Amino acid sequence: MNEKKSTIDPLLNVVSLLKSIGFLLVVGFVFVWCCENTYDRIYGDNHHKNKIENLLKNGKTILANLDQNYVISRVNKGNYYQTSYEFKYSFRVNDKVYNGDFTTEEFIPTDANRLKKYLTVHYLPEDPEVNQIDAETEYEYAKQDIEEHGIGMLLLNIFGLFVTFFMVLYGIFSVKEKAQNLDKPIENTYRKTQYQNEVNQKTDYSNFR
């Protein structure tokens, strides 16, 4: 018995494969996001706080030069837009220029003391690449981040990490399986075609005129 192959099955297989690839990309993105957040909770937050603390204790200060070019960012907060400004700065140590940037919601302040804080750089004498604008304020932000990102947030990120890991594995196996079966007929379509062929062969049309 000759079996007719469905012409739509290959197209449906491709669509199914594309869906699996899309699913894999989405869960892969979420997995990477969970990895970054888990890293920040375990290591990043404390590392940043310790870095600023070391700068305040063992670093030196210098006044930086502010670049006149800056980037404006606006974030919709519902009833208003929150505006922030990203500035670049540079300073020279031992005839070598070092660069950095900082973001603030306050445009170049008119208060001379406040402006001086923005332009004061703490840096490590042995490695000026490690530096920070307005280190005192940044240190308070770093401590606040650690307090807000407690053990509950850490456990939530670890849980999300494990869940998305297994979802990524499922997505990989699903894509692999569907890629291998692109040329195979879909089971329901195949059974319907086979049944129709059997009905056509068993029907006796001899009494019809």
Q: What is the DSSP track for the chain?
A: -PPPPPSSHHHHHHHHHHHHHHHHHHHHHHHHHHHHHHHIIIIIHHHHHHHHHHHHHH-EEEEPEEEEEEEEEEEE-SSSEEEEEEEEEEEEETTEEEEEEEEESS-S-S-HHHHHHHHEEEEETTEEEEEEETHHHHHHHHHHHHHHS-HHHHHHHHHHHHHHHHHHHHHHHHHHHHHHTTTSPPHHHHHHHHHHHHHHHH---TT--
29 φ/ψ angles, rounded to the nearest 5 degrees: -65, -45
Q: How far apart are CA 32 and CA 124, in angstroms?
A: 32
Structure confidence at residue 7 (pLDDT): 61
Structure confidence at residue 1 (pLDDT): 43
Please give the structure tokens belonging to residue 92.
Answer: 């020279």
Structure confidence at residue 93 (pLDDT): 93
What distances in angstroms separate CA 189 from CA 1, 6, 7, 182, 196, one per listed residue?
A: 17, 7, 10, 14, 11
Structure confidence at residue 6 (pLDDT): 56
Q: Collect all residues with Cβ–Cβ distance below 8 Å to 138 and sequence separation of at least 6.
A: 52, 132
Please give the structure tokens belonging to residue 140.
Answer: 């308070």
pTM of the model: 0.52
Q: What is the pLDDT along the chain (209 residues), one digit of tens a residue?
A: 444 555 676 677 777 778 888 888 888 888 888 877 776 666 656 778 888 889 999 999 999 988 888 888 888 877 888 888 888 899 999 989 999 888 887 777 767 777 887 788 999 999 999 999 888 888 888 877 766 665 666 677 777 778 888 888 888 888 888 777 766 766 654 455 554 555 455 555 455 44
Structure confidence at residue 128 (pLDDT): 93
Structure confidence at residue 202 (pLDDT): 53
Q: Collect all residues with Cβ–Cβ distance below 8 Å to 183 and sequence separation of at least 6.
A: 10, 13
Please give the structure tokens belonging to residue 150.
Answer: 């407690």
Please give the structure tokens belonging to residue 20.
Answer: 């699996």
For residue 66, the cross-strand partners are: 89
